[in-house]
């Protein structure tokens, strides 16, 4: 369950900042940390077994600062520490207008407290002015796996042997990549470059010597098809991002030899439908990004390079779970050949939903069409693994009844002329794991008060009614039972007393787009 635990420092004086604690499951991969809501903390921290403690602090941009309360943590208590200095910022300021630029807080105010935490694995210092001396001092934190700065000078990085992530390595040389062998635990690497690029295929060959490298992003003017031959030799590589590069079908022919590739980003490359045929040999490929975003590189005849013809080849990659190619009902013959598919944008009719219901591995479904009816939605009850469902169709209360068997559902969004009543909405209380509920069409009044009392996990709620029959205080009664609610969009006519009770919900951050403030929150904290 996604979450932040909001806590206060031992005293609530304004100069101590706002702190929040997150817990992450130790067994999860580094990508996509999972967090749990624990509620407000006012005393000692007890970390459940198998969890790692992550502390995030938002500081005021200026003024006195007392972080002495961090001394209550033992040196190895924290897995991750993130410190954000809430520097004032104007989005309209020109780079030359220094008076409107963020003012960085000197690292000297913070470093003594950070350096005590010798067990830290991850450190983030945003809005903090780190000098070369500060960076050298951080080398004493021998367990760091992720550094708090993006500019990397590999000649000075030898002490950080435990590094697992390098966010950006700009214009590296062949010698620089040879030095990476000194970081045997490195898992994630992003290489960028432009003018001054000197890296050659011989330099890229050093990456194959990194036994744990799992994620690689290559962003440079001279990334070519020939480079892919070196990349394919990285036996541990699971995720590769070569988006916006001039990679052609010939480059994919090299990547077809990558033994463990699970994710591949080909957005805005020169790859064509025919080139995707090379990927059939990738037996572990799960995620394929093809056309996300507006293409920059297009064919002279303005036709897209990747079309639905690609499905002929993609349907033969049986391990595929996600790809972002637009599809429709005519493509279901191919889509139904993918037994592990987890995300799909398709289905414009009841007949299409019936076929989609056979894809029982689906976790995300986005479907839209004026011809979809309640009878079509009934077929979706077979998708027991569904976690996210977006339907754009003229549905009624009957559809909600069909969805109540989807116990894994976490996010439900309905729009497109639906005719759902206040009493009909009550059926969704049978979905105990629902975190997000958005219904964009006005609910039909039928004399019933809003009742969502069974949705105890709900964090994000958006509902509307006709202005002639607005939500009232009696509808807010059910909201007060939703202790995990963070975002609420429920415009109506309420008394000041009722509104005050809602704003005191322990987890609520915003109501109808307005950020709520609490006395215990530091003025520099924003959601």
DSSP 468-508: TS-B-HHHHHHHTT-TT--EEE--B---HHHHHHHHT-TT-
Rounded Cα–Cα distance for residues 235 and 320 (Å): 20
89 pLDDT above the threshold of 70: no
For residues 350, 355, 356, 357, the Cα torsion angle rounded to the nearest 10 degrees is 90
Percent helix, strand, coil in the chain, to 5, is 25, 20, 55
395 pLDDT above the threshold of 90: yes
Per-residue exposure over 20-30, b if at least 16 CB sit within 10 Å of its own CB, e if not = bbbbbeeeeeb
Element (H, E) at 179: helix 174-179
pLDDT of residue 35: 44
Rounded Cα–Cα distance for residues 468 and 384 (Å): 39
More confident residue, 115 or 49: 115
* Strand 122-126 relative to strand 287-289, pairing: unpaired
User: Coil, strand or helix: which one is 227?
Assistant: helix
Q: Give residue-wise pLDDT tens across range 284-323.
A: 999 999 874 444 443 444 445 778 888 999 999 999 999 8
In a domain, 109, yes or no: yes
Which residues is 412 bridged to in the sheet? 389, 437
Q: Write the CB contacts of 160 (distance below 8 Å, at least 6 apart in sequence).
A: 139, 144, 147, 183
- Tell me which residue of 194, 129, 185 sits closest to 161, measured CA to CA: 185
115 pLDDT above the threshold of 70: yes
Q: In the block, which residue shows the tokens 């469902």?
A: 389
Q: What are phi and psi of 162, to 5 degrees?
A: -90, 5
Output the CA angle 150-152-154, nearest 5 degrees.
160
Q: Give residue-wise pLDDT tens across range 170-180.
A: 889 999 999 99
Q: Give residue-wise pLDDT tens across range 11-35.
A: 333 333 344 444 433 333 232 334 4
In a domain, 64, yes or no: yes
Residue 470 exposed, middle or buried by CB count within 10 Å (0-12, 13-18, 19+):
middle
4 pLDDT above the threshold of 50: no
In a domain, 267, yes or no: no
Helix (DSSP H) and strand (DSSP E) numbers for the chain: 14, 23
Number of domains in the chain: 1
In a domain, 113, yes or no: yes
DSSP 73-127: S-TTS-SEEEEEEE----TT--TT-GGGSPPPEEGGGTHHHHTT-TT-SEEEEET
144 pLDDT above the threshold of 70: yes
- Tell me which residue of 505, 491, 402 sits closest to 450, measured CA to CA: 491
More confident residue, 93 or 342: 342
In a domain, 137, yes or no: yes
Average the pLDDT over each of 140-144, 210-214, 215-219, 258-262 and give the range with the smallest value.
140-144
* Strand 51-60 relative to strand 18-25, pairing: antiparallel
**Terminal alpha carbon distance of the chain:** 18
In a domain, 99, yes or no: yes
In a 13 Å sphere around the CA of 118, the CA atoms on its Cβ side amount to 5
In a domain, 86, yes or no: yes
Q: What is the rounded radius of gyration, in angstroms, for the C-alpha atoms of the chain?
A: 26
Q: Please say whether the beta carbons of 270 and 246 come within 8 A.
A: yes
- Tell me which residue of 223, 300, 225, 216 sits closest to 261, measured CA to CA: 216
Q: Give residue-wise pLDDT tens across range 453-472.
A: 899 999 999 999 998 999 99
In a domain, 60, yes or no: yes
Alpha-carbon distances, residue 502 vs 218, 467, 483, 495 (angstroms): 48, 21, 10, 11
237 pLDDT above the threshold of 70: yes
pTM score, whole prediction = 0.76
Domain that holds residue 78: 1-149
In eight-state DSSP terms, residue 449 is P
Q: Please say whether the beta carbons of 241 and 217 come within 8 A.
A: yes
Tokens found for residue 370 = 């004026």
């Amino acid at each position: 369950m996604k979450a932040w635990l909001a806590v206060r420092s031992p005293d609530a004086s304004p100069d101590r900042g706002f702190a929040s604690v997150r817990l992450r499951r130790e067994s999860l991969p580094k990508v996509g940390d999972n967090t749990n809501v624990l509620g407000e903390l006012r005393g000692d921290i007890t970390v459940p077994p198998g969890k790692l403690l992550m502390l995030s602090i938002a500081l005021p941009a200026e003024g006195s600062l007392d972080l002495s309360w961090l001394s209550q943590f033992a040196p190895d208590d924290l897995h991750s520490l993130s410190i954000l200095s809430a520097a004032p910022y104007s989005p309209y300021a020109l780079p030359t207008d220094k008076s409107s630029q963020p003012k960085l807080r000197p690292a000297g105010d913070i470093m003594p407290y950070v350096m005590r935490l010798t067990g830290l694995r991850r450190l983030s210092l945003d809005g903090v002015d780190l000098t070369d001396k500060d960076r050298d001092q951080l080398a004493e934190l021998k367990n760091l796996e992720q550094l708090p700065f993006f500019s990397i000078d590999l000649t000075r990085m030898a002490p950080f042997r435990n590094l697992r992530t390098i966010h950006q390595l700009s214009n590296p040389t062949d010698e620089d990549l040879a030095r990476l062998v000194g970081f045997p635990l490195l898992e994630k690497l992003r290489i960028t470059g432009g003018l001054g690029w000197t890296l050659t295929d011989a330099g890229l060959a050093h990456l194959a010597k990194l036994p744990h490298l799992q994620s690689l992003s290559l962003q440079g003017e001279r990334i070519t098809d020939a480079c892919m031959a070196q990349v394919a030799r990285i036996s541990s590589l699971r995720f590769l991002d070569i988006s916006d590069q001039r990679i052609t079908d010939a480059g994919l022919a090299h990547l077809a030899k990558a033994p463990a590739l699970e994710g591949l980003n080909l957005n805005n490359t020169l790859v064509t439908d025919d080139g995707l045929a090379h990927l059939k040999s990738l037996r572990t490929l799960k995620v394929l990004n093809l056309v996300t975003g507006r293409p920059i590189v297009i064919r002279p005849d303005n036709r897209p390079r990747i079309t639905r013809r690609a499905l002929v080849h993609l349907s033969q990659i049986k391990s595929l779970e996600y790809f972002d190619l637009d599809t429709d009902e005519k493509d279901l013959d191919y889509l139904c050949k993918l037994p592990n598919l987890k995300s799909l944008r398709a289905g414009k009719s009841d007949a299409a939903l019936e076929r989609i219901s056979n894809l029982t591995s689906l976790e995300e479904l986005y479907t839209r069409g004026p011809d979809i009816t309640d009878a079509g939605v009934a077929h979706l009850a077979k998708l027991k693994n569904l976690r996210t469902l977006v339907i754009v169709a003229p549905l009624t209360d009957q559809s909600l009844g069909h969805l109540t068997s989807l116990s894994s559902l976490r996010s439900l969004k309905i729009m497109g002329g639906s005719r759902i009543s206040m009493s009909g909405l009550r059926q969704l209380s049978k979905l105990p794991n629902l975190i997000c509920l958005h219904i964009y069409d006005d609910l039909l009044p039928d004399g019933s008060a809003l009742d969502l009392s069974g949705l105890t996990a709900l964090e994000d709620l958006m509902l509307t009614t006709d202005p002639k029959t607005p939500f009232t205080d009696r509808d807010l009664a059910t909201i007060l039972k939703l202790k995990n609610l963070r975002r609420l969009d429920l415009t109506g006519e309420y008394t000041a007393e009722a509104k005050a009770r809602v704003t005191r919900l322990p987890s609520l951050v915003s109501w109808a787009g307005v950020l709520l403030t609490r006395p215990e929150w530091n003025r520099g904290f924003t959601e």
